[in-house]
Amino acid sequence: MDYTKILNEISEELSNFNNPGKVASYIPELSKVDPSKFGVHLYCTSGTHHAFGDTQERFSIQSISKVFSLSIVMRLLGDDLWKRMDVEPSGNAYNSLFQLERENGIPRNPFINSGALVLADILVSEFDHPKDKLLNFVRNISGVPSIDFDEKVAQSEKHHGHRNAALANLMKSFGNIKNDISTLLDVYFYQCSIAMNCEELAKAFMVYANEGKILNNDEEILNPMKVQRINALMQTCGFYDEAGEFAFRVGLPGKSGVGGGIVAIHPEKYSVAVWSPKLNERGNSLLGMETLERLTTKTGLSIF
């Protein structure tokens, strides 16, 4: 497959794309990002790379980080994790308090905010330095030791994270949060602030395309069954309440973030990261979704 030719075609086709999306503003620091940024990096299991655009500039990965925290917790707890959350699409906003109260403090899945807060709570319980554990995990699977938190984004989230605090307190009232609220919120806000570029994200997500192994050294990070389950969750729950739309249009497991990033994987073939900060009304990168739809259309390949 000539991915370079395909990406060049997509770049040309989208050069004058009318993008009515808007940059996320509820976290003020995210609103400062240049809305015209656009980059794609595709990393094949063969080790080859294909890219165009702004692929070397780091951005806040936001909810994409939930895949990393889920991976760590699944390695620790296995199926015991599912006693504290479900694996169903939410069908509601990713920060819904109503749904969480109706379901007695049990999040629908690990990729909505309440589910990610439970993951953060587990990290606090299991590790003396949970933020370091998470960061080292990302550095290891990407092979990039310079990846770090964006302090400005983390502080911006802290000052405007009242709804996440409400979610955590509501779950604590049901007994599904074990630790101090401010401690787990600190872990969660810093987790979302992790800054990576498209190439680094594509490298990190190769673990999920390569049966749980780091491509360059064959180190097994997750066993194949856990990878299958993470990929299934990305397919069904990775795009807030637009997961069905993404499955219909793109047909790959993936995860988005309100920083404008989307990462998708084709098992045993490639991982691909797209960054375009303008979001649609559901919080997903509008141009990113368009790009990935064209990629799977032109290759004729999806998981279906």
Give the residue numbers annotated as catalytic, written as ranges: 63, 66, 188, 240, 258
Q: Is the dihedral of CA 136, 138, 141, 147 positive or negative?
A: negative
Residue corresponding to tokens 């899945």: 109
Q: Is the dihedral of CA 23, 158, 162, 106 positive or negative?
A: positive
CB 253 within 8 A of CB 272: no
Nearest to 157 by CA among 219, 99, 70, 95: 95
Helices (H), the chain: 3-13, 65-77, 97-102, 113-126, 130-142, 151-159, 162-173, 181-193, 198-204, 206-209, 224-237, 243-249, 286-299
* Tokens standing for residue 19: 């993008």
Nearest to 257 by CA among 282, 232, 236, 233: 282
Measured CA to CA, the distance from residue 281 to residue 83 in angstroms comes to 32
Kindly tell me the burial class for residue 156, based on how many C-beta atoms sit within 10 Å of its own C-beta (0-12, 13-18, 19 or more).
Answer: buried
3-state secondary structure of 98: helix
